[in-house]
Structure 1
Amino acid sequence: MKRDIVIIGGGIIGLMSAYFLQKAGRKVTLIDENDITNSTSFGNAGLLSAFDKAPLSHPGVVGETIKMMMKGESPVKLHPKFDYQLIKWLLSFVKNANEERLKKTLILFEKYGQDTIDLYKQLQKEEGLDFDFHHTGMLSVFTEQDTYDKKLKQYNYEDSKRFEVLTKSRLEEYLPCASSDVKGAILFKKNAHLDPQRVMLEMKRYLMENGVEFILNEKIEDISFSDDKVISVSSKSATYEANTFIMATGYQTLLAKRRKKQLLMTPAKGYSITFEMPEELRPKTSCLFNDLFIVMTPRRGDVRLTSKLELGSSNPAIVKAQIDSIKENFKKYTKPFEMKNIKEWSGFRPLTPNDRPLFGKDEEYDNLVYAMGLGWLGMTFAPSIAKTLENLIVNDLKNEEDDDVLLFSGFYQGESPKKHLFCLIN
């Protein structure tokens, strides 16, 4: 049986792609190697942070990381081993950490981040989905005086719709668990947060109820080509033919390698700690401990901390030392309280070296579509990227005919791929 559209991967980008294609009248089959209950998207902080927050690749990031390492507060751990692909990724990352790249990235983050926030609101209103969504801003918390002073210089103007520099009393209101060691905080009002687990489960339920076919616990291991088309993908036990294939496999690049396509992307291991805490100490909105790379997100009934960036690791197990490090760094700047009913998690995020996701049609096989490399910003950008892919597929467009692909996809951010791109972003 030949299917219409097969999506390989049931993370947030896979689910969102299924939603928009199904709404456009296409028949969608989603295949995942698990049962969509503990993917990387489940461990996300839930922070939709497209506004007033620097991407991972930004000027000064190397020096900042070394400084944090010296204090024992660095979230980054690099496992020493010779890996040509990782070395290539690191060199590209450093090259991309420049002022010109940062300015363009921030503009694009705001454009597609706002699109995503609007789409989440639309999904809740029109489909009755419950994402535990809150458009209440992001509190950027500073534990180092110099970084706080630099940020204050950057925001030395009045814009009450965009941000608020908090007084001590306002900080106590928004983050009552903060200790006196916190140097200051700024509330960036355009950001939002939600519950990633609720989003994933709600989307899965909605899609199953509305005719999307789910084939779960099925690992796709091979891909077959004929002339300029992909004709099928296969697991150990079955083969699936389709008109269009979407590769949404997160950090896993096996199928891309079968295609003989090298994706400049690396798996970055991250951790989350979810727990209950005294109600009177819970944060009012999502908080980014700017100098610690720790995000604290309030949810219904509990709170989640996310942190760490392990590069060069392939071990999926939770490393106790990493969990302990997150707790220790967090407790340095918060009042004492007991974390109850703790749940620990680790998973791999697919990171690109320039913070741009990899999406769009394959240059040789036009019925193969990529939806990968969203890093820790899957929740922040998946709906807007999925909407772009729906337009690309339904209207049978080439990549160069879609401005959003040219603007935002990492495939078009390298060495002068298209003149059209530079006309758009300069």
Structure 2
Amino acid sequence: MSKSVVIIGGGVVGLCSAYYLQKEGCKVTVIDKSPMNAGASYVNAGYLTPSHIIPMAAPGMITTGLRYMFNSSSPFYMKPRLDPNFIKWAWNFKKSATQKNVDLAIPVIKEVNVLSRELFTAIKNSGDLGSFHLERKGLLMLYQTDKERDHELIVSEKAKFLGLEVKELDKEGISRVEPNININAKGAIHYECDGHSTPSEFMARMKAYLENIGVHLIKNQEVTDVIMNYKKPCEVKTLTSSYDADEIVLAAGSWSGKLAKKLGLKLSIEAGKGYRINVQKETNIKMPAILMEAKMAVTPMKGFTRFAGTMEFSGINHDIRKERVNAIAKGAVDFYDGLSISAEDKNNAQCGLRPVTPDGLPYIGKSKKHKNLTIATGHAMMGWSLGPVTGKLISELICDKDLVMDITPFDPERRF
């Protein structure tokens, strides 16, 4: 029997969930408070990253955050504030940031990222969305100092052990893979296992496809209440409408914690703000890269080059801090000879809020309290990369299918 499903959240996770649920015969409605044309799913670096095997909650991160707390242009910024939820989240983050937890998370992160990378390819090969930008050139981890090189070599050895394709490049090696621009780097770790895409293009094509096959995309409606009832249809209320459903998916990103409270659930999430600058003119950059000292990402996308980065914990807001935008621009110019980022490019910078859990792993799974509620949020910087696999897992959970992987580490009600 087909199910009626309401998905709260129209980002990449919500849309991918709708994509796979409709393939199982479900009647799907997606509700979002925005026009579904901005936010983290549109301003991210577009990476498909099996190489990003280290969770954000790693040893030393809290110390780094405290060191940068009063430097609002730093790559990792925690705005001082007396917010009980943030203080509790930060304490749980500190408790989670142990080598033991990192070691347990590494193979899980690798597996879920590889699965999602292959699902991106399967979506493209299906022809459902038409042709869209998706490449497998890998990712360069560019370094200027021995300190960053030595740090990344440790990560690369773990990646190799897990079967990921990795090479070490010297300066000449960098020139061979990126011949049209001089890069101020001593060397790079080339994660050949990675891919990249253009998020805005993928999202536009996914929305068009979903609407064409009958998925209802409800824009500009904020969910104000959710009424759960296991024996009868659930009800999702907005300011102007009400929607009944057999199943509800909570995929509201950084806003998920607020909605979870209405359902009597404790979902620890903090909004981690990231920024992006798009440069429309030709940059001659052809390879995606992480600039390690600058702690930022560079992605050649369809029609432009994106420079993105920073992690800012300052609550739920879309305020643009110019000093953080300038830091991204400076980091890029320091690595690429002849690159210029105009004042207009910087003035057009945008930001997005990434939902971050205390241990750096997403929440994916059924609620124990509400059997017809499924949670899909908390992906932090891996949201884009994990969109398809999360959507696939959500469809399998709701439609009682065998899961493509063990999701125990993603339990939404796990303890920290």
Matches within 5 A, 1:27-106: 27-51=27-51, 53-63=53-63, 74-106=74-106
Percent identity of equivalent pairs: 26
Aligned with residue 293 of structure 2, among 270, 291, 294? 291
- Which amino acid counterpart does residue 82 of structure 2 have in structure 1? F
Name the CA shift for 1:289/1:266 in 2 (closer, same or farther; >3 Å): same
* Mean CA deviation greater in 200-209 or 402-411: 402-411
* Mean CA deviation greater in 377-386 or 16-25: 377-386
- Which amino acid counterpart does residue 243 of structure 1 have in structure 2? D
Structure 2 residue matching 1:411: 3-state secondary structure: coil
Structure 1 residue matching 2:223: 3-state secondary structure: coil
Aligned with residue 265 of structure 1, among 252, 260, 269? 269
Map Cα deviations across residues 317-349 of structure 1 (whole Å, 9 max, x no partner).
Answer: 222121112112332222132236624111211
Partner of 2:328: 326
2:120–2:388 CA contact under 8 A, matched in 1: yes
2:267–2:412 CA contact under 8 A, matched in 1: no
- Which amino acid counterpart does residue 167 of structure 1 have in structure 2? D
Aligned with residue 162 of structure 1, among 134, 149, 165? 165
Aligned with residue 219 of structure 1, among 199, 218, 222? 222
Shift of 1:104: 2.0
Partner of 1:232: 235
Map Cα deviations across residues 103-157 of structure 1 (whole Å, 9 max, x no partner).
Answer: 2222111111111111111111112533311111110111332121343466579
Equivalent-residue separation in structure 2 for 1:47 and 1:81 (angstroms): 32
With normalisation by structure 2, the TM-score equals: 0.89
Name the CA shift for 1:327/1:46 in 2 (closer, same or farther; >3 Å): same
1:228–1:365 CA contact under 8 A, matched in 2: no
Map Cα deviations across residues 277-324 of structure 1 (whole Å, 9 max, x no partner).
Answer: 435x31x32101123220100012211111111113333122212111
- Which amino acid counterpart does residue 359 of structure 1 have in structure 2? I
* Mean CA deviation greater in 196-205 or 43-52: 43-52
Shift of 1:227: 6.5
2:273–2:310 CA contact under 8 A, matched in 1: yes
1:47–1:194 CA contact under 8 A, matched in 2: yes
Indicate whether 1:377 and 2:347 are aligned: no
Map Cα deviations across residues 76-113 of structure 1 (whole Å, 9 max, x no partner).
Answer: 22111111111111122222222221122221111111
* Mean CA deviation greater in 192-201 or 222-231: 222-231
2:156–2:189 CA contact under 8 A, matched in 1: no
1:52–1:188 CA contact under 8 A, matched in 2: no
1:360–1:405 CA contact under 8 A, matched in 2: no
Partner of 1:138: 139
1:73–1:329 CA contact under 8 A, matched in 2: no
Q: How many residues were matched structurally?
A: 407
1:229–1:366 CA contact under 8 A, matched in 2: no
Shift of 1:193: 0.8
Map Cα deviations across residues 35-75 of structure 1 (whole Å, 9 max, x no partner).
Answer: 21113200111011222553322233345567778999731
2:277–2:307 CA contact under 8 A, matched in 1: yes
Equivalent-residue separation in structure 1 for 2:24 and 2:241 (angstroms): 28
1:287–1:295 CA contact under 8 A, matched in 2: yes
Name the CA shift for 1:158/1:272 in 2 (closer, same or farther; >3 Å): closer
Structure 1 residue matching 2:385: 3-state secondary structure: helix
Structure 2 residue matching 1:166: 3-state secondary structure: strand
1:221–1:254 CA contact under 8 A, matched in 2: no
Equivalent-residue separation in structure 1 for 2:139 and 2:411 (angstroms): 26
Specify every segment of 5 or more residues in structure 1 that has no aligned partner in the other structure, as ranges.
416-426
Equivalent-residue separation in structure 1 for 2:20 and 2:230 (angstroms): 29
Specify every segment of 5 or more residues in structure 2 that has no aligned partner in the other structure, as ranges.
none
Name the CA shift for 1:154/1:106 in 2 (closer, same or farther; >3 Å): closer
Partner of 1:414: 415
Equivalent-residue separation in structure 2 for 1:321 and 1:333 (angstroms): 19
Name the CA shift for 1:56/1:265 in 2 (closer, same or farther; >3 Å): same
- Which amino acid counterpart does residue 6 of structure 1 have in structure 2? V
1:43–1:346 CA contact under 8 A, matched in 2: yes
